[in-house]
Structure 1
Amino acid sequence: MIQRPPAPNSANEQKLQRFASAALFAVLVLLALWVVREFLPAVAWASVVAIALWPAYQAIERHRWFKCRTTWIATVLTIAIALLVVLPITVTAIQAAGEAHELYLWLRAAQQNGVPVPDFVARLPMGSHQVSAWWQENLAQPLNASSAMKNLHSDAIVSFGRNFGVRALRASMTFGFMLVTLFVIFQAGPRLSGTVMRGARRAFGVDGAQLLQRMASAVRATVTGLVVVGLGEGVLLGFAYMLIGVPHAALLGTVTAIAAMVPFCAPVVFCGAALWLLVQGSVIGAIVLAVCGCVVVFVAEHFVRPVLIGNSTRLPFLLVLFGILGGAATFGLIGIFIGPALMTVLTVLWVNWAE
């Protein structure tokens, strides 16, 4: 008896099968992301660093010494990123440990005898009597009995130390997994880049692949603008600290550079240094440092950074600013780089729709 071949599926059955396959794939992808959710920050940071360094990777790969040696390139770049992060932290920790004993002695003396009213308080143009009265009531007496210090109990300090330790351990683990992921990305090299672009063209078409390239350009431009401008502000203000006589000028310049990588955060550092100079009685030095810092930050934030980021991403300055600040508020520090990429997507979609 001859068996007839099965009848082809109807159009409705094919649509139902496609829908079921898409739903199954979506569920599996979401389940996989949920399983690796603790490692997603490390993957995101590794992707940002890899995108930012991809032109350098390609330039190194074209050199005859590194031709077809992706493992060597991945090793060199990964070690460079690790040293770039670890060395400043190590130097800061060493200097902080050197100052810890003096800080402990000062805190112990303040707890027993209080902190005398600084001389500059009497020279304030206004509010000197109110500030002096508050200082005498809260800080000039032994801090053990001061009402301003009543919430600083040993339990609170221990809890703060425990939370800080947990956060530091989590950040260290994220950094370690980020380095491993970064090494794997660099080792895959052009093969990974080609696979991603072919997948984007197959899934979203030519426009989707171009949009992905523009997002990568936005991330690269944001990293360049934030890091380069931050380092520039740190170097210039570091020289200002050194010339004015602020102690630990190199360390403070490094802290300023790191803070300047986030828009409008550098003033917190140099204003704190200016306040320290004012407390020490160096009014002219404090004014000069504050003015120099404001000029450097104004030029960097309103002229240099918008040009570096906006010209590469073809975004207006306002969208760049909203993307950086909104991304940081939504996704944390990694959102500084994700925000402008999302603003780029929004701009491209708007232009395509308007046309």
Structure 2
Amino acid sequence: MEHVTPPPPTVPAEADRHGLARTALVLGLGALGVWILHGFLPALAWAVILTIALRPLYARFTRAFPPGRHNVVGPALFTLGVALVILVPLAVAAIQAAREAHDVVQFWREIEESGWPVPDFVARLPFGAAQVSAWWQENLSHPSGSSEMLHRLDRSSIVGFGRTFGSQIVHRSVLFCFTLLTLFFLFRDGPAVADQGLSAARRLFGPRGERVARQMAASIHGTVDGLVLVGLGEGFLLGVIYVFAGVPHPVLLGAATALAAMIPFGAPLAFGLAAVLLVAKGGVTAAAVVVAAGIVVTFVADHFVRPVLIGGATRLPFLWVLLGILGGVETFGLLGLFLGPAVMAALVLLWREYTEGDATPVA
């Protein structure tokens, strides 16, 4: 049998070597860039989310008032509007909290000097009133018991918490400024950036990559409508109910309800607190009205309005929207409210195209 000499190993072509080198360079530079910017990635992500959410409104504005040569006025106005929408409620809440802090300090001093008498609402509790009243009289009604319980708080821990809170405020303020700066440039150069992103997705992953990118953008826009706008609506309606029910500080509690309602199952905590405050004042009937109205408003919002706004924009079943929101919040914090559904929408789109084919492209 004739011996056959195996062919020599194939040497990679020069073009292949250059391609591998370019890929390694891109991956290395990309990883380095992410590492350098990792502290500012939340600010960049928030700017992208706000740009996607406000893009239709900004597009109508630019059609009515075409941008000039430098295109500065429109982006500056929208960036300023976003800053005011976020900062004004925070300023109002801070002013209200500062006013309440004086009353809290005064109340603290009165407790240390004369004790904390049993509140009137304890006697009106539906069950356990006698036990609660006896415990209160034994531990809080006399100055020595109140002072002992209050001094159990570690003052050094309170000071440490204050310092940590202050540093967090500074850090969040810096990130917010970078978010606004990025938002301005995204408003100004948004169409060019979007075209470049879609072109990159198309070149890297083909038409499917562009469809996934569009689906994620639609998911973010639908999630903003379904969470933020519906949450603001819930806060407004329940705030009006707070006013008529006599809830203390109805505007502040209404704003807190709106923020809590942006997270699924968060609104009951807010109107539950309002009901507790009413019970403490003796308004059991008003508290029942607040709870009943809160259940009705949140039921309608969570089961009818949100599924239409979010699921209609993303073609995503509301169960996956809910799982994306809750999982996103647990993983990324508040930012996960919008990133979670976007990732779920991309995964569901890829699954549908894998199982059903590309016959029905997603707009």
Same fold (TM over 0.5): yes
**Larger deviation, residues 233-242 vs 61-70:** 61-70
Task: Identify the residue that residue 189 of structure 2 maps to in structure 1.
Answer: 188
Shift of 1:10: 4.6
SS of the counterpart of 2:334? Answer: coil
Task: Identify the residue that residue 267 of structure 2 maps to in structure 1.
Answer: 266
Q: What pairs up with 1:178-327 in 2 under 5 angstroms?
A: 178-327=179-328
Shift of 1:32: 1.0
Asked if the contact 2:201/2:209 (under 8 Å) is kept, the reply is yes
Q: Does 1:31 align with 2:32?
A: yes
SS of the counterpart of 1:281? Answer: coil
Task: Identify the residue that residue 43 of structure 2 maps to in structure 1.
Answer: 42
Matches of 1:325 and 1:213 in 2, distance apart? 23
**Larger deviation, residues 107-116 vs 139-148:** 139-148
Asked if the contact 2:116/2:146 (under 8 Å) is kept, the reply is no
Matches of 2:171 and 2:158 in 1, distance apart? 20
What TM-score do the two structures reach when normalised by structure 1? 0.92
Shift of 1:237: 0.5
Task: Identify the residue that residue 351 of structure 1 maps to in structure 2.
Answer: 352
SS of the counterpart of 2:24? Answer: helix
> What is the identity, as a one-letter code, of the residue corresponding to 1:273?
A
Q: What pairs up with 1:3-82 in 2 under 5 angstroms?
A: 10-11=11-12, 14-66=15-67, 70-82=71-83
> What is the identity, as a one-letter code, of the residue corresponding to 1:102?
D
> What is the identity, as a one-letter code, of the residue corresponding to 1:317?
F
What TM-score do the two structures reach when normalised by structure 2? 0.90
Change (3 A) 1:101 1:147: closer
Asked if the contact 2:227/2:263 (under 8 Å) is kept, the reply is yes
Q: Does 1:101 align with 2:102?
A: yes
Asked if the contact 1:323/1:339 (under 8 Å) is kept, the reply is yes
> What is the identity, as a one-letter code, of the residue corresponding to 2:139?
N
> What is the identity, as a one-letter code, of the residue corresponding to 2:160?
S
**Stretches (4+) displaced over 6 A:** none
Change (3 A) 1:143 1:204: farther
Matches of 1:71 and 1:64 in 2, distance apart? 12
Matches of 2:150 and 2:38 in 1, distance apart? 41
> What is the identity, as a one-letter code, of the residue corresponding to 1:172?
S
Structure 1 unaligned residues grouped into runs of 5+:
1-8
Task: Identify the residue that residue 177 of structure 2 maps to in structure 1.
Answer: 176
**Larger deviation, residues 259-268 vs 18-27:** 18-27
Shift of 1:64: 4.1
**Larger deviation, residues 99-108 vs 212-221:** 99-108
Task: Identify the residue that residue 139 of structure 1 maps to in structure 2.
Answer: 140
Q: Does 1:126 align with 2:124?
A: no
Change (3 A) 1:140 1:200: same
**Larger deviation, residues 317-326 vs 50-59:** 50-59
> What is the identity, as a one-letter code, of the residue corresponding to 1:254?
A
Task: Identify the residue that residue 167 of structure 1 maps to in structure 2.
Answer: 168
Change (3 A) 1:117 1:86: same
Structure 2 unaligned residues grouped into runs of 5+:
1-9, 357-363
Matches of 2:196 and 2:25 in 1, distance apart? 23
Cα-Cα RMSD: 1.9
Matches of 1:352 and 1:28 in 2, distance apart? 32
Asked if the contact 1:114/1:141 (under 8 Å) is kept, the reply is yes
Aligned residues: 347
Asked if the contact 1:222/1:309 (under 8 Å) is kept, the reply is yes
Shift of 1:148: 4.4
Change (3 A) 1:219 1:198: same
Task: Identify the residue that residue 6 of structure 1 maps to in structure 2.
Answer: none
**Larger deviation, residues 262-271 vs 139-148:** 139-148
